[in-house]
Amino acid sequence: MWLAVPGDQLKIIDCVIQMLYNASLMINDIEDDVQLIYGVPQTINTANYVYFLDYKELAKLRRQCEDGDVGMEIMWQDLLQCPMMEEYTYMVNNKTGGGFRVFVRLMMALAAKNLEVNFIPLVNIIGVYFQISDDYMNLQSTEYNDHKGFAEDLTGGKFSFPIVYRVHVDDQSVLQKCPTTPTLKHYTIIYRWTKTKLFDYMLMVMQNLKQQLPSYTKDPKVQVVKDENLTWEQFNESAPHMVTFMKDNDWPDDRVNMHIAFWSTLQNHRWHHDFDTHKQSTLLLYQAQQCKCWHLTIGSSNSWSIAKINQDLLNEARETIFNQFRMQILSSQNRT
């Protein structure tokens, strides 16, 4: 809704994410030594085949994406080294949050509107919430237990959220035992984790994360101020952040440098220092118009460099600013 990704491309993105998620679950079950239905060779072959299918689907979009890994989690598990809660959150943001970011970045790359909005902070919160919720369901949900098994994180010695919390509150002896029997698992959960009020703490953390979501889920249009409505002081303050955003999201160097050159040219333009504020506003309007048009043509044969000022288009922007000012004067006179 916010990004207006074309329907056919959105279907491809949805298919890719579903396949990636299912394949990652297969590999994750092997890494966690889950004792269920599928054999290891068949599971590996199936997951690898799904990855190749994903590449085939992504080729249709002619875009590339990035993903995280679970290396830190496996290292902690093998060394029986419990991370701090901050380290666990960082790992989850790269593992679980990585899948969400791939999904959203693919849509952002193909968006037809709200091109200037960064949805990644929202996605990061959702990723952490999803993982903690999954850890909670692993201990509390009967349906979850029927599909994956009861408290499998305990059996595999995995440092999930409840285990990290319990280790720092109490001790890590339960990890050294890696309980496999339902009796010992029930003892651990019902007695020892109830003693530390684990489930109350997990619910509180999830509620705190949930309360942060409204600030990110408002209509982006309400939060974003159009470039042409900024003052030059505000634009100069925001420009470095836009450059940082481009670099953080792996924009090619030539595109980043092109925008820097474009903004520098506008800042050095004689109208920027003119006493006529309409001319100053014209430069900001021209900047917004050019960036919007450039984004809509990126990747096509119609794309061009915005670094060089087009004087004819700049004059048109000046005419627009003048007409807006004239309409404001007429409207003010009519009210009086």
Write a three-state SS string for 202-244: HHHHHHHHHHHCHHHHCCHHHHCCCHHHCCHHHHHHHHHHHHH
Q: Using a CB cutoff of 8 Å and minimum separation of 24, what contacts does 55-62 make? A: 57/12, 57/15, 57/16, 57/19, 58/12, 58/16, 60/12, 61/9, 61/12, 61/13, 61/106, 61/109, 61/110, 62/299
**What fold is seen in the domain 7-217?**
Farnesyl Diphosphate Synthase (1.10.600)
Q: Do 80 and 176 contact (CB within 8 A), yes or no?
A: yes
Residue 8 predicted with pLDDT over 60: yes
The whole-model pTM stands at: 0.45
Distances (CA, A) of 126 to 110, 201, 207, 210: 21, 18, 12, 8
- Confidence label for 212 from pLDDT (cuts 50, 70 and 90): confident
Which DSSP string do the residues of 116-128 spell out, in sequence order?
T---HHHHHHHHH
Check residues 328 and 252 and name the one with the higher pLDDT. Answer: 252
Q: Do 174 and 192 contact (CB within 8 A), yes or no?
A: yes
Question: 153-162, pLDDT tens digit by residue?
Answer: 666 667 788 8
Domain boundaries, the chain: 7-217, 225-335
Q: Do 88 and 123 contact (CB within 8 A), yes or no?
A: no
Question: 83-95, pLDDT tens digit by residue?
Answer: 887 788 888 887 7
- Confidence label for 219 from pLDDT (cuts 50, 70 and 90): low
CA atoms within 13 A on the CB side of 81: 9
Residue 317 predicted with pLDDT over 50: yes
Window from 15-29, 48-62, 80-94 with minimum mean pLDDT? 48-62
Q: Which of 92, 90, 12, 100 is nearest to 58 (CA)?
A: 12
Q: Is 27 helix (H, G, I), strand (E, B) or coil?
A: helix
Taking residues 101-119, report their average pLDDT.
78
Sign of CA dihedral 294, 296, 298, 303: negative
Check residues 19 and 146 and name the one with the higher pLDDT. Answer: 19
Taking the mean position of all CA atoms in its chain, how far away is CA 102?
7
Taking residues 10-19, report their average pLDDT.
82
Window from 91-105, 222-236, 238-252, 253-267 with minimum mean pLDDT? 222-236
What's the rounded Cα separation, in Å, for the pair 198 and 225?
43
Window from 11-15, 151-155, 236-240 with minimum mean pLDDT? 151-155
